[in-house]
Structure 1
Amino acid sequence: MAGIVLAVTGRGSTGSESAEAPSGLAATYLDNRDVLLRFLRARGAGDAAEDLLHEIWLRITRAQTGPVASPLSYLYSVANMAMIDRHRSAMQAARRDAQWSETRRDHEPSPEAGIADAQEVASVLAVIDRLGPRAATAFRRHRIDGAAQKQVADELGVSLSTVESDLRSAYRALLEWKERRDAT
């Protein structure tokens, strides 16, 4: 038991120190640990009861309290507050998760919007494809893949001005497509 007390209290004999038994609140905690554990389980702590006991130990060993008139009552109060803190934390986490899920749901497109977007992309690609294979490839490589115009010109074996001309044609075709779409 002395080894457990030393491990729990953090005291050990290192030559000049003597092994002292804990006193006051720590001694009351150690003497009533099982009672506090049953109290927490009865209040609904379940598997978290051991964790709560550890929190209580940390609270009482770190707190700068004076003498406590009724240490067991004080420990019950600390245990009750630990339960309340755990419950509040769980409720806040649940609210935060629900809000996050709701926000994600609000920002996800509906299936209808997803279909409409896919149809619009297909329509844009059809406009680009009607320009011919070289202009379509130049547009895709530059605007979609992010390749530099010079790199596209080298890949296609054409001059930089030809790529620029193909891109102007693609932009003009897309502008006309957009104007037709907006008019309807």
Structure 2
Amino acid sequence: MSDRTQPSGLEQAFLDSRERLLRFFAARGAGDAAEDLLQELWLKVSAGGSGPIAAPLPYLFRAANSLMIDRYRSQVQAARRDHDWSEANTGAVPGMTDSPSAERVVAARQFARLVDETLATLEPRAATAFRRHRVDGIGQRQVAQELGVSLSTVESDLRIAYRALAELKERMDEA
């Protein structure tokens, strides 16, 4: 509230309609920002500077709607700016391709085949746990439930798989 002990008509209308204004923001997609927008509206209302307002409640809702429009425009502009920046900084270099060379493709396929062969030498549960967790992106707890084992068993299986793959990498680096 302002320094005065008695709120102005507009401030009083805001205080009386705070929950309605909050619902107004939420209904228009403000989400978690609804409280922030309400605070911004309060700052504008409590700053005063305007003369008497004949219909304070409609005035508050028009101001709230203007805040939502400004927020939307700001979000669109930020998204456009981020997209343009990404395009400018990660775009392809003229005359060069983003595709890997044929040598890299062949090397990657060979390495993937070696990884698959290494996993095939492991106990099937360890290989499955590794694939579900690292390839499919499933959490360890869910992998444990799927395999019907404890979380510590999945962790142990993953350590076995990681160790085997680390040894493969060492052999590859030596060659």
The TM-score with structure 2 as length reference comes to 0.51
Distance 1:25 1:48 in 2: 23
Moved over 3 A (4+): 107-114
Structure 2 counterpart of 1:57, one-letter code? W
For the 8 Å contact 2:10–2:53, the answer to whether it is kept is yes
Distance 1:87 1:21 in 2: 35
Among 79, 85, 89, the alignment partner of 2:70 is: 85
Which whole-Å deviations, capped at 9, do the CAs of 1:39-75 have from their partners, x for residues lacking one? 1111111111100001101112225211111000000
Structure 2 counterpart of 1:41: 26
- Superposition map of 1:1-184 within 5 A: 8-9=1-2, 11=3, 20-106=5-91, 110-111=97-98
Q: Max radius of gyration: which structure?
A: 1
Report the CA distance shift for 1:43/1:111 in structure 2 as closer, same or farther (over 3 A).
closer
Report the CA distance shift for 1:93/1:21 in structure 2 as closer, same or farther (over 3 A).
same
Identify which range, 58-67 or 79-88, moves more after superposition.
Answer: 58-67
The percent identity for this pair of structures is: 51
Which whole-Å deviations, capped at 9, do the CAs of 1:109-168 have from their partners, x for residues lacking one? 644699xxxxxxxxxxxxxxxxxxxxxxxxxxxxxxxxxxxxxxxxxxxxxxxxxxxxxx
For the 8 Å contact 2:14–2:60, the answer to whether it is kept is yes
Q: CA deviation at 1:31?
A: 1.0
In the alignment, structure 1 segments of 5+ residues that lack a partner are: 1-7, 12-18, 115-184
Paired residue total = 100
Report 1 or 2 for greater relative contact order, CA contacts < 8 Å, sequence distance ≥ 6.
2
Distance 1:46 1:32 in 2: 19
Distance 2:21 2:99 in 1: 57
RMSD: 2.3
The TM-score with structure 1 as length reference comes to 0.49
